[in-house]
Amino acid sequence: MTKPIGYFCNQNVPLISEAEHYWGSYFQGLTQSEKLWMLATVTGVITADKTENYNPYDVSEIITPMCENLHNLDYQQQLALARFLLNVL
């Protein structure tokens, strides 16, 4: 079962508490497209710069061709892969 945002995030952070207020504890006020857009944006922010938690130079060469072929997966497979990756982070 899905857990509410408060399980994962500090609700005392204004951005998080505002998001929960607008969209609900499970972001039920967002469409699936909006949730995917938010996920893509968050991962883009995380990977925008080299940090202590992310180094683009630590990415092996085998990853690039796989990522370039993700469009060959159907939507359900892409979503399943995204869920899997979030769970193994």
For 11-61, what is each residue's pLDDT tens digit? Answer: 999 999 999 999 999 999 999 999 999 999 999 999 999 999 999 889 999
pLDDT of residue 2: 87
Which token pair is 55? 């180094």
Instruction: Give the SS3 label for residue 2.
Output: coil
From CA 73, how far away is CA 69, in angstroms rounded?
A: 8
> What confidence tier does 1 reach under pLDDT thresholds 50, 70, 90?
low
Q: Which residue has the tokens 């399943």?
A: 80
Residue 3 has pLDDT above 90, yes or no: yes
Whole-prediction pTM: 0.85
Which token pair is 16? 């998080």
Question: Any idea what DSSP says for residue 13?
Answer: S
Report yes or no: 25 and 5 within 8 Å, Cβ to Cβ.
Answer: yes
Nearest to 44 by CA among 56, 33, 27: 56
Return the CA Rg of the chain: 15
